[in-house]
Structure 1
Amino acid sequence: MLAALVLALCAAGAAGWGGWQRYQAANDDSASFAQARDDALAAGEQAVQNMNTLDHKTLEQGLDSWEQSTTGDLHRQLVDGRDAFARQITEAKTVSTAKVLSGAVTELDERAGRAGVMVALRVTVTAPAGEPAVKESRLIGSLTRTSEGWKLSALGQAPVGATAG
């Protein structure tokens, strides 16, 4: 009888402790922060890849993808320069494809709707004549959360060089 009582108390204690742990995990801000970070990274990597992929044969679709991936000043620059850029790509008849090698969120401010990403990328540019040119680079992007999700608001080369020491 005593053993059954001890077992019942242990089971009740374990059930209560397990329920409390589950409640804490479900209401933990770090889980939602991690999800926001993952969402920003996925959107940033995809947008950077989109911005470095363009085929002269499907030019309008590629430029639409650029515009759909951006917001703010970067978006306005793309829209304003679209016709000139389309002429350049059509004349050059190039195809560029990008592959994300790795990426990381460098900054995340959920309340302000801002994030920063760094993306390592391999870009292959194929011209009508000659061998494809392959270049690896690191890009830094700024993201802004919109009603449609995270979008690139700035994009540039990551600085390269020696650190102070």
Structure 2
Amino acid sequence: MSLHWESFVYAIVAFLILYWLLNKFAFGPLFGIMEKRRLLVQEQMDNAEKNRLESEKFLEEQKQSLQQARKEAYDIIEQAKTTGSKQADEIVNAAREESSRLKNEAVREIESEKNKAVAALRSEVTGLSVKIASKIIEKQVDEKAQGELVDKYLQEVGTKP
């Protein structure tokens, strides 16, 4: 094998011409397209990162909102329990006061009726005593007859309604 310098020089010149032509017409547009693609991919990656950060921020806000809503719901429930308990206590106390008032009123009414009955009984006993005394005086009987007369009138008083 012999090395031909002429072929070697032609090959290098042909390679340089081909390289120059490719560089001028193919590599420039190809590298431009590749650079655009790289920029597009970089932009998409930046957008994806930005969206991820926004999503995380939104998720955190949602968690805080949910936590706040739970706290508010718990506070409302506690307030309702407290209000319900207070209302129950107020109702019980009102019922106790009303029952105490009714009891006192009934006791006063019973006492009043008792006093009226005692007064009526005294009046009747006084009237009967006067009748008995007048009958005793009229009859002027002995002790035995007087005892029988008193027993008779006491039986009459016991049978009156």
TM-score (norm 1): 0.29
Write 1 or 2 for the structure with the bigger share of helix. 2
Where relative contact order (Cα < 8 A, 6+ residues apart) is larger, the structure is 1
Task: Please tell me whether Structure 1 or Structure 2 has the larger radius of gyration of its CA atoms.
Answer: 2
Write 1 or 2 for the structure with the bigger share of strand. 1
